Amino acid sequence: MLAPYVLGALGLLIVLFFAQLILIKLQRKKDFIWYRQMIVYKKLPLSRKRILENYPFYRRLSSKYQRQFEHRVAHFISQKNFKNRYGESVTDEQFVLPACVACELTFGRRQYTYGMLDTLLFFPEPFTSPTNNALHKAEYNPSARVLAMSWPDFLQGMADSNDNLHLGLHEFCHVLHFESEHSTNVDAQRFHKQHQLILRRLMDPEVKKRLDNTAFFREYAFTNQYEFMAVLTEYFIESPKQFKSNFPILFKCYQTALLYKDEWLDWTVE
């Protein structure tokens, strides 16, 4: 016969197991996570910290969120392979800046390291894709778990913070979108749920009419559903004020998909 303390321990484990199931179900239904960051301890070396400190998103954050962001950037770097296509050494900028862009996009999520991405591969210019022999500035290969990018075009996307053309944000959204269709974690499933709501909103005649009349989103957004979400990402981060004013419901859906706080966005851009 089991000792009373063993029975008590088993009972506690059973209670915790069912409590976890209930919590997961509630998070999926109510679109929240009960915690997003439990521990913060990783730091960047000084040379990389200086690059981080000049990153606009980091500079807008409170000291609490700056510590979290640095931890996430450092952890992202430790989890991924960074390579230059032709063998050159990877610079500190090539480690830090893509990690900053990636972590800015997932800052509201618990799962922020892009589990379906292993390698970032940098090219010195646009490259020919082996999948379609077309010239690409960037391409995500989910089978190889590789995100390839033209480094000059990545930097160009960062240079103008309000033109709604940001190669890094665009491509990292593609990774999140793929994850949302193949993962069961709460963050991925919330992204998928809100994506479906956005697609349904696009079928609304009034929304379609406003999209046509305003021409707010650039034409490339309507290539397919994946490009639409990627373009929405660029507008959400770079022009949140205009986005929310023109399409408040679409904005709310996307904000919920990322669980993004208003204070993390730059509302000064007109």
Decide: residue 63, CB within 10 A, 0-12 exposed, 13-18 middle, 19+ buried: exposed
Interval 13-51: pLDDT, tens: 776 555 555 556 655 655 656 556 778 899 999 999 999
Length of the chain: 270
pTM confidence score: 0.89
Residues 96, 89: Cα–Cα separation, whole Å: 14
pLDDT on residue 35: 55
- Give the DSSP H or E segment for 149: strand 146-150
Contact 138, 154 (CB under 8 A): yes
Q: How far is CA 53 from CA 24, 47, 93, 214, 230, in A?
A: 36, 10, 12, 37, 26
Arithmetic mean of pLDDT, 229-253 = 97
pLDDT tens, position by position, 118-145: 999 999 999 999 888 899 999 999 999 9
Alpha carbon distance 175, 224 (integer Å): 15
Dist CA 45 CA 59 (whole Å):
18
Q: What are phi and psi of 122, to 5 degrees?
A: -105, 135
pLDDT of residue 36: 67
The band of 95, judged by pLDDT with boundaries at 50, 70 and 90, is very high
- What confidence tier does 85 reach under pLDDT thresholds 50, 70, 90? very high
Q: Which residue has the tokens 């929304």?
A: 207
Measured distance CA(171)–CA(229) in Å, rounded: 10
pLDDT in tens, 43-74: 999 999 999 999 999 999 999 999 999 999 99
What domains does the chain contain, in order, with CATH numbers?
Answer: 46-264 (3.40.390)
Give the residue with greater pLDDT, 189 vs 16: 189
Residue 261's pLDDT band, with cuts at 50, 70 and 90, is very high
Query: How confident is the model over 193-223, as pLDDT tens digits?
Result: 999 999 999 999 999 999 999 899 999 999 9
Round to whole Å and give the CA distance between 23 and 78.
Answer: 30
Query: Can you tell me the distance from the alpha carbon of 105 to that of 206, in angstroms, rounded to the nearest whole number?
Result: 29
Antiparallel, parallel or unpaired: β 81-84 and 119-123: parallel
Rounded to whole angstroms, how far apart are CA atoms 169 and 150? Answer: 14
